[in-house]
A = this chain, B = another copy of it.
Amino acid sequence: MKTSQYFLPVLKDAPSEASTASHRWMLQSGMIQSTVSGIYTWLPLGLRVLKKIKTIIRQEQNAIGAIEMLAPTLQPATLWQESGRYDDYGLEMLRVNDRHKRLLVYGPTAEEVFVDVVRRCIQSYKAFPLNLYNIQWKFRDEVRPRFGVMRGREFLMKDGYSFDLTPQASKETYCKVFRSYMRAFYRMGLSVIPLRANTGPIGGDFSHEFHVVAKTGESALYYDSVLENRTPPRFEISDFEEVYAMVDEKHLPEQCRVPAEQLKIARGIEVGHIFHFGDKYSSSMNAQVSSKNGEVVNLQMGSYGIGVSRLVGAIIEAFHDEAGPQWPLSISPFSLGIIHIQENLESKAEDLYCKVKDLGIETLWEDRPLSPGEKFALMDMLGLPFQAILSEKNQKNSQIEVKVRKTGERYCFSLDKFLEWLHLNCSEQISLPETIKT
């Protein structure tokens, strides 16, 4: 993509409403624009990141046999009355009367809709287990939206719902989803801590939250510091079972047996939350099936959420410096940025741009007549993992300069060597241990 043909409305200065790094950089680097309090328009650059996160989540969900579908954003209030949750969400749930005065809600989550879908189709126990998910916009009418997409009102969520015949099978599904979440976060370059959590209005018997550790996190985390010494990647729930890791409300100092000097207290950003709640919804909403031996049983359920739009902010909180975000390759809007310092290098830059595109590498070429300083600052603010810099000085030696955004490392290569290096570094996505590849 050439910036002259792109829509990249960056801001010169940090916007005054931004109180966190991610909020600032998402506004300033032209990823989002605030449409009204807590509701954002995703500009082209931001949408690219959002889509890449969706793709990773989708791949990991499909890999464990979860099946994608799509619930509507608006749901009938009657379903919420039936489950008994209509009042639980209070003012956070956006309620609206349609023209016939039928009450709809903008889904803050979709347990009821998924239970309704499944119960209307049940013919035999043979259809189970079922693990269904969707990635859809949700709404929670926060009293004070803040931190940009981190605590917005309209937000994109991956929410999944599992239906099993027995509590044991249901817990195994929960463990599978746990693993798929850890894998997905890992592929986004994130080091995420799973902690035991309360179930809140979703209900249920156990629950984990997934947190990115960041100073600007809204939640307090309490965990055994051995967690930090473990060799990543550890994806199985069993890897964490014996280790103390609690969110704020769940941490009871009098019950915590971790020695004080070993207890880590940190701030975290919640990016995922999973619940196992057995038959809470299937009993109230009559989602039953005759088992193999003829007994009528309530379906055993879990529900599983990832804050997709929030992750964009969380990743910036985890990876940025004073010049802008530092995108991990797997979710970066583009892999490479190209700038040419002198205007007479335009055709050289165009040639490089075409060659890199031919390799299938997503590239953004700053082809507008900006000053060198503006180009350098823009590229750092965009945060693409690699920058190729063409200057007269290096061209004399037929060299291309490369800058690695995260480390600041610089290399000089001939064109051929550069293409080889780039190809290697861009195809080398974070590799997962062979044994658990799916």
Residues of A within 8 A of B (CB): 4-7, 9, 33, 35-37, 39-44, 47, 50, 65, 67-76, 78, 91-92, 94-96, 98-99, 102, 104, 106, 113, 116-117, 120-121, 126-127, 130, 132, 137, 139, 141, 143, 153-154, 368
Contacts and interface: CB of A to CB of B under 8 A. Distances in A.
Contacts of A7: 67, 69, 127, 130, 132
A12 to B, nearest CB: 10
A287 to B, nearest CB: 13
B33 A117 contact: yes
A364 to B, nearest CB: 13
Prevailing SS type, chain A contact patch: mixed
Contacts of A117: 33, 41, 43
Contact of A69 (B43, B92, B137): B43
A143 B74 contact: no
A102 B40 CA distance: 16
B141 A73 contact: no
A126 B35 CA distance: 24
A130 B9 CA distance: 12
B36 A6 contact: no
Contacts of A67: 6-7, 44
Contacts of A42: 69-71
B40 A72 contact: yes
Q: Which 7 A-B pairs have the closest CB atoms?
A: A9-B121, A36-B76, A42-B70, A96-B96, A91-B99, A39-B72, A99-B141
Given A40-B72, A41-B117, A42-B71, 18 more contacts: A4-B126, A7-B130, A7-B132, A35-B71, A36-B75, A36-B76, A36-B102, A41-B70, A41-B113, A43-B69, A44-B69, A47-B69, A73-B73, A73-B154, A74-B106, A91-B99, A94-B96, A99-B141
B69 A41 contact: yes
B35 A116 contact: yes
A78 B368 CA distance: 35
A47 B143 CA distance: 34
B5 A137 contact: no
Contacts of A70: 41-42, 47, 50
Contacts of A127: 7
Contacts of A126: 4, 368
Contacts of A9: 120-121
Nearest to A6: B67
